Amino acid sequence: MIKILLRSILIILSAASFVFALDHDPNGRLIMSLGGEISVINPILSTDTTSSAIEGVIFTGLVKVDKNLNFIPDLAKSWTISKSGRVWTFKLRRDVTWHDGEPFTAEDVKFTFDTILNKKVNSVRRGDYIIDGEPIVFKVVDRHTIKAILPKPFSPFLTSASMGILPKHILEGKELDMSDFNRRPVGTGPFKFVQYKAGDHVLVKRDPDHYGGAPKLKEILFKIIPDENTALVALRSGDIDETGIPPKDFHPIKHVNLYEYDALLYTYLGFNLKSPKFSDVRVRQALSYAVNRKQLIGLVLRGLATPAYSPCSPVSWAYSDDVFKYEYDPKKAKALLKEAGVKKLEFTVLVNHGSKEREKAATILQQQFEKIGVKMNIRVLEWSALLKVINARKTPKDFDAVIIGWSTGVDPDSYSIWHSSQYPAGLNFIGYDNPKVDRLLDAGRREQYKSDRKEIYAAMYKEITKDAPYVFLWYPKVLAGVRDRVGGLSEPGPTGLFLNIEEVYIKK
């Protein structure tokens, strides 16, 4: 009797697994496209999105983000913050092994962060682990527990805790910047490194022992395709499975699913606040009122963007709608200029070569400003040359205005963009100086609880928009196409379609 029962269970189970196994191809290879050259496959050294796409599947960090931009456990299964807000204790998973079979421990975590803090290593991320000049100290409590002791409470620290962890047993004592490891990485992620052909592709394969469960895909091929037209042709022909699509090409393609979603980005026109032309807030507000964002987005991006009125993307939890919105009103613009006593205003805006959208936007803004009697000249500069101008360590800087964008991180802290100390060396290249905003920025970093921080940032955005230091232009939509043979994609949003890469599969 029991034998029959067991046998029937066995038959049912095998039938069931057969049915479940049918939906995806266990030999499936996903082909992703990369738009530029890879620098190094090392999360503490690279700064380009191309390399980080690959690092995202090979390495993992203490925490990661979910589709709602909340931090959830990854290598750390839980964490606590002390009452003072200064000591963060992370309890690590015990079932993690490196791709070479060695066990993962707290020593690896300490090693990674100490390496970032090492002045001799060329990691630009070092500044993320230094608060007001004091470094964060990492202490190994036991094999699976690590403490981070901050010089003072700092909420954005969790973002820094998502940094990919490097293996101590491989890298200890080696010179990291020139190490071969950067081309043959070993990590804790769902995919293992297989092959890297310089300038051409990177191949990774499934790690069946991954702690989060073996991924459904057998392999991922990251192919470098520098030209966007080529990528589009390759998507159409099925030689690649996904790519970003420029607005002009965003229409139905056979066998391809199109996705349009928001991200943590915004494009703006920034004023040099130290220039006498823009020192009067009424002039800046006038120019903000003069912009017809709907027309701009329609002409430049085929409508595939949202008008922006605040320095925070609507998908961030800190977003607040209660800001000063300068909605299109040319009459008001003219009145403000008159009030400020400005009869003739002429200035030059810098745009980087290589962004057709920004160049087009400049010409349309030129026309829109002309309607209120302002003459804007356009100067297109090569990217590095433009950066040199706006990052120059002098005051006043040699520009009037610039059209550029920000890609903000998961944490809404934007200290480096708005704090008065970040000028002239820093990302506050417009020279914004508002003590109230400075205080709010400091408070936002200090407070632990999201609800408190949200209030702080809402007040800050209101204050910033009142001063109109930028003309906020648009929040671009991310446009992507994925072949319909690919399943298991994550919900479209700021974390992208491939957030849960272990769930992605190729349909049979």
Partner 1 sequence: MEVGTTPKTKPNFKPASTPKLIFPDRRFMRRYIVRRLIQLIPLLIGISLITFFVMHMAPGDPTSLFTDPNIKPEELARIRVNWGLDKPVIVQYFIWLKNAAVLNFGYSYISGKPVIEEIFERLPATLLLMTVSFFLILLISIPVGVISAVRKGSLFDNLFTVLSFVFMSIPSFWLALIFMMVFSLKLEWFPPFGNIILPCAVMVISGLAGITRYQRASMLEVLGQEYIKVARAKGLPENIVIFKHALRNSLIPIVTLLGLSLPDLFGGAFIIETIFAWPGMGRLGVSAVFSRNYPVIMGITVLTALLIVIGNLLADIGYAIVDPRIRYAEKK
The residues that touch partner 1, with contacts defined as CB under 8 A, are 36-40, 45, 47, 119-120, 122-128, 130, 177-179, 182-183, 197-200, 223-227, 229-230, 233-234, 236-237, 239, 382-385, 387-389, 391, 406-409, 414, 416-417, 425-427
Residue (172 or 327) nearer to partner 1, CB? 172
- Tokens standing for 334? 């003219």
Closer to partner 1 by Cβ: residue 272 or 352: 352
Q: How far is the CB of 5 from partner 1 (least distance, A)?
A: 55
Closest separation in Å from C-beta 47 to partner 1: 5
What's the closest the beta carbon of residue 162 comes to partner 1, in angstroms? 12
Q: Read off the DSSP letter of residue 458.
A: H
Based on CB atoms, which residue is closest to partner 1, 363 or 420? 420
Using CA atoms of 376, 382, 384, 387 in order, give the dihedral in degrees to the nearest 10: 0
Least Å distance, CB 328 to partner 1, is 28
Least distance between partner 1 and beta carbon 445 (Å)? 13
Is cis: bond before 424, omega within 30 of 0?
yes
Question: In whole angstroms, what separates CA 287 from the centre of its chain?
Answer: 29
Considering all CA atoms of the chain, what is the largest pairwise distance in Å, rounded to the nearest integer? 99
- Whether the bond into 190 is cis, omega within 30 of 0: no
Structure tokens at 52: 């980080």
* Pick 37 or 491: Cβ nearer partner 1: 37
- Per residue, the 3-state secondary structure of 147-211, as one string, reads EEECCCCCCCHHHHCCCCCCCHHHHCCCCCCCCHHHHCCCCCCCEEEEEEECCCEEEEEECCCCC
Q: Which residues contact 46 (CB under 8 A, 6 or more apart)?
A: 39, 40, 52, 55
Q: In this complex, which beta carbon is closest to partner 1, that of residue 374 or of residue 417?
A: 417
**Residue whose CB is less far from partner 1, 408 or 465:** 408
Q: Strands 130-131, 87-92: parallel, antiparallel or unpaired by DSSP? A: unpaired
Instruction: Please state the closest distance from residue 152 (CB atom) to partner 1, in A.
Output: 17
Please list, in sequence order, all residues whose beta carbon lies within 8 angstroms of the beta carbon of residue 66, skipping any fewer than 6 positions away: 72, 495, 499
Shortest spacing between CB 119 and partner 1, in angstroms: 6
Q: Which is nearer to partner 1, 128 or 207 (CB)?
A: 128
Q: Show the tokens assigned to 88.
A: 């963060």
Asked if 490 and 500 count as a contact pair (C-beta separation under 8 A), the reply is: yes
Closest CB 354 distance from partner 1, rounded Å: 9
- Name the nearest CA neighbour of 95 among 137, 60, 53: 60
Specify the residue, 65 or 387, whose C-beta has the smaller distance to partner 1.
Answer: 387
Q: Nearer to partner 1 by C-beta: 140 or 253?
A: 253
What is the distance between the alpha carbons of residues 64 and 398, in angstroms, rounded to a whole number? 40
Q: Distance between CA 365 and CA 297 in Å, rounded?
A: 11
Nearest by Cα to 497 from 287, 255, 245: 245
Closer of 26 and 36 to partner 1 (Cβ):
36
Shortest reach from residue 226's CB to partner 1, in Å? 5
Q: How far is the CB of 214 from partner 1 (least distance, A)?
A: 29
